[in-house]
Amino acid sequence: MDSRVTERRNPRTQEIDLAEPAGIVDLMLAEDREVPRAVATQREAIARAIAMAESTFRGGGRLFYVGAGTSGRLGVLDASECPPTFGTDPSMVQGIIAGGVAALTSAQEGAEDDQEQARADLAARGVRAGDMVVGIAASGTTPYVRVAMEHARSVGARTALVACSPPPADMLAAAEIPIVAVTGPEVVTGSTRLKAGTATKLILNMITTGAMVRLGKTYGNLMVDLRATNVKLADRSERIVAEVTGLPRDEAKVLLGAAGGRVKLAITMHALGVDAAEAQRRLDAGGGVIRRVVPMPPPAVQ
């Protein structure tokens, strides 16, 4: 029997090929209910990863996700969502996938086993001391991920691992923070795009969202560092400013314009009665955390 839990057969779904569509839904829902429980067992490790990421960012370092296949795609996805959501520079959180950009849309055979390419890919991004590398390996055994973390440690970067099957000793040794959410055998044997993929997505959500909240990218649970790169986000920006300040929508839009489209700056300007330059100075002095600068909490949810 394969020692990797993600490669074992699931006795509860061994007759899924006989099920009607509704039965397939029921089987998959039953399995997916176990995913949050598995992730919850890693609460403390995830919290440590959030703290490590926050420390990395405050020190000017970057976060790199490294994975192959589904794991790599999920890392790239999470990294790509940070700039529009939190107003971060694209270099702050980056995803590295075995096989490069082509692997995002099609399988690159053998890429997950290419250990030399792992070193080359991290070197090409300039991974260095002060950075953080999160290896993502659903099976816990991906050679590309293990070598990437070993390379990261050799240059002084911090490391964490996200896995859904207990990793071997050499993989664990490369990770300062192992996050191992054992999700059990998949609905379809070995298809880690299913429960393992869902667990991975939950964990990555927590790491970046947690770190960004700690950096002051939210005011309460309001997204105040978003970039209004489309009509929907521009509308959201205006709604947030109007809700926090109590201004009519048209006045909130004018205020947002005076703040260069920056929600956090607009809120600070209004709360302190200062111009954009002074508001920015106050925010910088407060480490970018709006609650350290603005004397009132955000409005309560109605």
**CB-based contact 149:174 (threshold 8 Å):** yes
Residues of the chain with CATH 3.40.50.10490: 5-214
Residues of the chain with CATH 1.10.8.1080: 218-292
Give the tens place of pLDDT for each residue, 55-90: 999 999 999 999 999 999 999 999 999 999 999 999
Q: Pick the catalytic residue from 112, 150, 176, 186.
A: 112
For residue 1, is pLDDT > 70?
A: no
- Whole-Å CA distances, 2 to 68, 129, 165, 189: 20, 37, 11, 12
For residue 110, is pLDDT > 80?
A: no
pLDDT of res. 283: 95
Question: In 3-state terms, what secondary structure has residue 161?
Answer: strand
Angle in degrees, CA 233, 252, 246, rounded to 5: 110
Q: In this prediction, what percent of the chain has a pLDDT beyond 90? A: 85
Number of helices and strands (H, E) in the chain?
Answer: 12, 7
81 catalytically annotated: yes
Instruction: Classify 5-214 by CATH class.
Output: alpha beta
- Whole-Å CA distances, 204 to 55, 87, 210, 244: 17, 18, 10, 29
For residue 175, is pLDDT > 80?
A: yes
For residue 112, is pLDDT > 70?
A: yes
- Whole-Å CA distances, 196 to 6, 79, 164: 8, 19, 6
Is the whole model's pTM more than 0.85, yes or no? yes
pLDDT band at 209 (very low <50, low <70, confident <90, very high): very high
Place of tokens 């379809």: 188
SS3 annotation, 289-302 = CHHHCCCCCCCCCC
Q: Pick the catalytic residue from 7, 15, 20, 81.
A: 81
pLDDT band at 156 (very low <50, low <70, confident <90, very high): very high
Beta-bridge partner residues of 58 = none
- Whole-Å CA distances, 120 to 69, 96, 104, 144: 18, 11, 19, 11
Q: Which amino acid is at 130?
A: G
Give the tens place of pLDDT for each residue, 44-57: 999 999 999 999 99
Instruction: Classify 218-292 by CATH class.
Output: mainly alpha
For residue 106, is pLDDT > 90?
A: no
CB atoms within 10 A of CB 176: 18
SS3 annotation, 176-229 = CEEEECCCCCCCCCCCCCCHHHHHHHHHHHHHHHHHHHHCCCEECCEECCCCCC
To the nearest whole number, what is the mean pLDDT of the chain?
94
251 catalytically annotated: no
**CB-based contact 64:127 (threshold 8 Å):** yes
Closest CA to 228 of 270, 272, 260, 271: 260
Place of tokens 């702050």: 92
pLDDT of res. 301: 86
Give the tens place of pLDDT for each residue, 126-141: 999 999 999 999 999 9
pLDDT of res. 4: 87
**CB-based contact 255:241 (threshold 8 Å):** yes
Place of tokens 């996700």: 65
Beta-bridge partner residues of 63 = 93, 132
For residue 271, is pLDDT > 90?
A: yes
